[in-house]
C-alpha cells in the first residue's frame, strides 16, 4: 500500500509537469499560427510610440507599487516577529475580494460626487491617478508579502535575536543580519510575481480611467495589446506582442529562480518547535496599524454594500449612513444568471485539486533533493501566468476553428486548475521551502518514512500551510474575470466575479452591488477555510484516537 501511494505521488508529480509543458506548448503553437508577418510586426513595434508609452507606464506603476510594498515590508518586519492566527487570516482578506469591486469602492471613496470626502485629485490629475492605482494594488497584494514573511520569520530561532540584543545591535542591524537573509528569496519570488501581474493588469484601471486617462497616461501594456486585439482588429500584432512578453519574461524567470533555488546557510534548528517571540509594545503597535490599514477599506466595502444604490443619486455614500439595507445582497442572490451552489462547488473542487497537486509537488521536490528538477518545475509552473489572458483566449479560439469543435469549457476547466496550481505551488514553495530542511532530516531519521517526516516538518499544526494555500487558490480562481467571462457561456457555471462585473455599465454602474460582491467574495473563502480547518482538526483527533487505541 505504501509503495502504491508513493508511486501515485510520483506519477502525479511527473504528470503535472508534462501537462503544464504540453498545455503551454499547445497554446503557444496556436498563437504562432496567428502571428503572420513577424518582420512587419517587429518594424511596427520598434516605431510604435503608443506601445512604448504603455511599456513606460507599466514600468513606472510597477516600480512605484513594488517600492512602496517593500518599504512597508521593511517597517513591518522591523518590529513584527510573530503573529496570531487571526492576524494571518486578516492578511488574506484583501486578496480574497477580487480586483474590480475594491477598485470601485476606492473610486466611490475619492469621488467628489459620491464619496464622503472630496479627494478629486486622485481622479483629476495624472499623478493622482497613478497614486490611486498604486494604493489599490498595494492594498490588495502587500498583505500576502507580510503573511509569507512573518511565517518565515517565526521559524528563525529566538537565540539569534537574544544574542544580537546582548551584542547591542539595533533593530535595523538585526533586520539586516538576521531577518533579511531569511526572507530575501521570498521577496525575490514575490517581486517576480508582481512584475508578471503588472504585465497582465488592466481590468480595474479601465473601470476607473477608461482606456487610459489623458494621453494614455494610465494605459498599461496589457490594455494596449488588448485594445489592438479587440478595437483595431489587429490580432496578429497583438499576438506578436504577447509572444514577445512570454519570451522576455521566461528568460527573466530562469535567472530569478537560479537565485531562489540556490541553497542558503541560515536554517531553523532541528527542534522545529513553534517559537514564541517577545511581544514588545512596538510589535503590538505595528500589528494594530496593519490591522487598521487593511481592514478600513474592507469596512468601507461593507458600508457601501449596506447602503442603497440610490445613495449616490440622492447624495453621497456615508461613513455613518442613516439607513442600512441588504438590498444589494438580495439582488445578487436573486440573479438568474448564476447558480451559487454549482459555481462555489466547482471552484472549491478546483481549489482542492490544485492545492493537493501543489503540496504533492512540494513533497516530491523536498524529499528527493533534485535541484535541477526543482528549478524546471518552478519556472514551468510560474510561467503559466506569463501568457496574457487575451492571448490564451485567442489560442483556444484558433484551435476551435481548426478542429471545428468548441474547446471553451475544457479550456475553462484546464486553465482554472493550472492557474490555481501555479499560484498554490508558489505559495507552498514560499511557505515550506525555506528554513525547514534540518527539521525534515531529523524527522526522517526518527520516523524512517518520508511522508511522516514531510508532514511533521512542513505541515505542522501551527503553520496552517494547507489552509493558507487553499484560500489563496480559491480566491484567485473564484475571482478571475477575463477568461471566465468568455468561456462560461452556460449559466450554471457562470463564475460569481463575472456576474458582479455585469453591474458595470457606464453611468448605470451599481456600486452597492459591486461592494456586496466583494464582501461575498471575501466571505466564501473564509467559510470554506473554516470548514476545511474543522475537517482537518477532526481528522487529527480521529487519527490520535486510533493510534492510542492501537497502543
Its domain, for residue 114, covers 2-550
Confidence of residue 290 (pLDDT cuts 50, 70, 90): confident
Q: Report pLDDT for 95.
A: 79
Does 350 have pLDDT greater than 80?
A: yes
Q: 95: helix, coil or strand?
A: helix
Separation between Cα atoms, residue 399 and residue 308, nearest integer Å:
46
Instruction: Identify whether the C-beta of residue 196 lies closer than 8 Å to the C-beta of residue 249.
Output: yes
Instruction: Identify whether the C-beta of residue 122 lies closer than 8 Å to the C-beta of residue 128.
Output: yes
Instruction: State the residue for C-alpha cell 460626487.
Output: 113
What percentage of residues in the chain have a pLDDT greater than 90?
A: 3
Q: Which residue has the higher pLDDT, 444 or 467?
A: 467
Separation between Cα atoms, residue 458 and residue 451, nearest integer Å:
10
Residue 495 CA, distance from chain mean position? 17
* Average of per-residue pLDDT values in the chain: 76
Does 387 have pLDDT greater than 50?
A: yes
CA proximity to 27, closest of 331, 483, 531: 483
| CATH value at residue 280 | 1.10.3720.10
Tell me the pLDDT tens digit for each residue of 179-200.
Answer: 998 888 888 888 888 888 888 7
CA proximity to 322, closest of 311, 336, 338: 311
Separation between Cα atoms, residue 101 and residue 515, nearest integer Å:
6
Q: What average pLDDT does the segment 327-340 reach?
A: 72
Separation between Cα atoms, residue 449 and residue 290, nearest integer Å:
41
How many domains is the chain built from? 1
Q: What average pLDDT does the segment 245-272 reach?
A: 59
Q: What average pLDDT does the segment 38-42 reach?
A: 77
Q: Report pLDDT for 72.
A: 92
Does 278 have pLDDT greater than 60?
A: no
**Which residues have a Cβ under 8 Å from the Cβ of 469 and sit 6 or more positions away?**
355, 358, 359, 424, 427, 428, 431
Does 209 have pLDDT greater than 70?
A: yes
Amino acid at each position: 500500500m505504501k509503495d502504491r501511494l508513493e508511486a501515485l505521488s510520483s506519477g502525479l508529480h511527473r504528470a503535472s509537469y508534462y501537462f503544464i509543458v504540453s498545455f503551454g506548448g499547445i497554446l503557444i503553437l496556436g498563437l504562432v499560427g496567428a502571428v503572420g508577418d513577424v518582420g512587419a510586426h517587429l518594424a511596427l513595434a520598434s516605431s510604435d510610440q503608443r506601445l512604448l508609452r504603455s511599456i513606460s507606464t507599466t514600468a513606472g506603476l510597477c516600480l512605484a507599487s513594488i517600492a512602496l510594498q517593500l518599504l512597508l515590508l521593511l517597517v513591518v518586519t522591523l518590529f513584527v516577529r510573530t503573529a496570531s492566527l487571526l492576524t494571518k487570516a486578516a492578511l488574506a482578506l484583501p486578496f480574497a475580494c477580487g480586483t474590480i469591486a475594491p477598485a470601485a469602492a476606492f473610486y466611490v471613496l475619492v469621488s467628489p460626487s459620491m464619496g464622503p470626502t472630496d479627494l478629486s485629485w486622485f481622479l483629476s490629475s495624472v499623478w493622482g491617478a497613478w497614486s490611486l492605482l498604486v494604493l489599490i494594488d498595494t492594498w490588495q497584494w502587500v498583505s500576502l508579502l507580510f503573511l509569507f514573511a512573518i511565517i518565515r520569520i517565526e521559524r528563525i530561532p529566538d537565540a539569534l535575536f537574544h544574542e544580537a540584543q546582548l551584542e547591542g545591535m539595533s533593530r535595523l542591524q538585526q533586520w539586516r543580519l538576521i531577518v533579511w537573509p531569511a526572507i530575501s528569496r521570498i521577496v525575490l519570488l514575490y517581486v517576480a510575481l508582481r512584475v508578471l501581474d503588472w504585465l497582465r493588469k488592466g481590468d480595474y484601471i479601465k473601470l476607473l480611467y477608461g482606456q487610459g486617462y489623458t494621453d494614455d497616461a494610465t494605459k498599461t501594456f496589457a490594455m494596449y495589446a488588448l485594445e489592438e486585439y479587440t478595437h483595431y482588429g489587429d490580432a496578429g500584432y497583438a499576438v506578436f506582442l504577447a509572444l514577445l512578453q512570454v519570451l522576455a519574461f521566461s528568460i527573466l524567470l530562469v535567472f530569478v529562480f537560479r537565485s531562489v533555488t540556490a541553497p542558503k546557510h541560515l536554517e531553523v534548528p532541528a527542534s522545529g518547535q513553534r517559537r514564541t517571540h517577545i511581544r514588545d509594545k512596538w510589535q503590538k503597535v505595528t500589528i494594530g496599524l496593519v490591522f487598521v490599514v487593511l481592514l478600513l477599506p474592507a469596512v468601507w466595502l461593507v458600508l457601501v454594500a449596506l447602503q442603497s444604490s440610490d445613495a449616490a443619486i440622492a447624495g453621497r455614500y456615508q461613513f455613518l449612513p442613516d439607513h442600512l439595507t441588504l438590498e444589494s445582497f438580495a439582488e445578487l442572490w436573486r440573479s438568474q444568471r448564476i447558480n451559487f451552489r454549482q459555481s462555489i462547488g466547482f471552484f472549491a473542487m478546483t481549489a482542492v485539486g490544485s492545492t493537493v497537486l501543489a503540496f504533492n509537488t512540494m513533497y516530491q521536490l523536498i524529499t528527493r533533493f533534485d535541484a535541477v528538477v526543482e528549478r524546471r518545475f518552478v519556472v514551468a509552473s510560474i510561467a503559466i501566468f506569463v501568457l496574457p489572458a487575451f492571448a490564451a483566449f485567442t489560442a483556444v479560439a484558433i484551435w476551435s476553428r481548426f478542429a471545428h469543435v468548441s474547446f471553451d469549457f475544457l479550456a475553462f476547466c484546464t486553465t482554472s486548475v493550472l492557474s490555481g496550481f501555479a499560484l498554490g505551488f508558489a505559495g507552498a514553495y514560499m511557505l515550506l521551502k525555506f528554513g525547514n530542511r534540518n527539521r525534515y532530516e531529523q524527522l526522517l531519521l526518527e520516523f524512517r518514512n518520508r511522508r511522516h517526516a514531510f508532514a511533521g516538518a512542513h505541515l505542522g499544526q501551527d503553520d496552517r500551510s494547507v489552509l493558507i494555500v487553499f484560500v489563496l487558490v480559491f480566491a484567485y480562481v473564484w475571482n478571475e474575470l477575463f477568461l471566465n467571462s468568455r468561456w462560461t457561456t452556460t449559466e450554471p457555471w457562470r463564475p460569481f466575479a463575472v456576474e458582479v462585473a455585469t453591474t458595470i455599465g457606464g453611468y448605470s454602474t451599481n456600486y452597492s452591488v459591486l461592494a456586496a460582491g466583494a464582501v461575498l467574495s471575501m466571505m466564501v473563502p473564509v467559510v470554506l477555510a473554516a470548514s476545511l480547518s474543522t475537517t482537518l482538526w477532526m481528522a487529527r483527533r480521529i487519527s490520535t484516537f486510533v493510534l492510542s487505541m492501537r497502543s
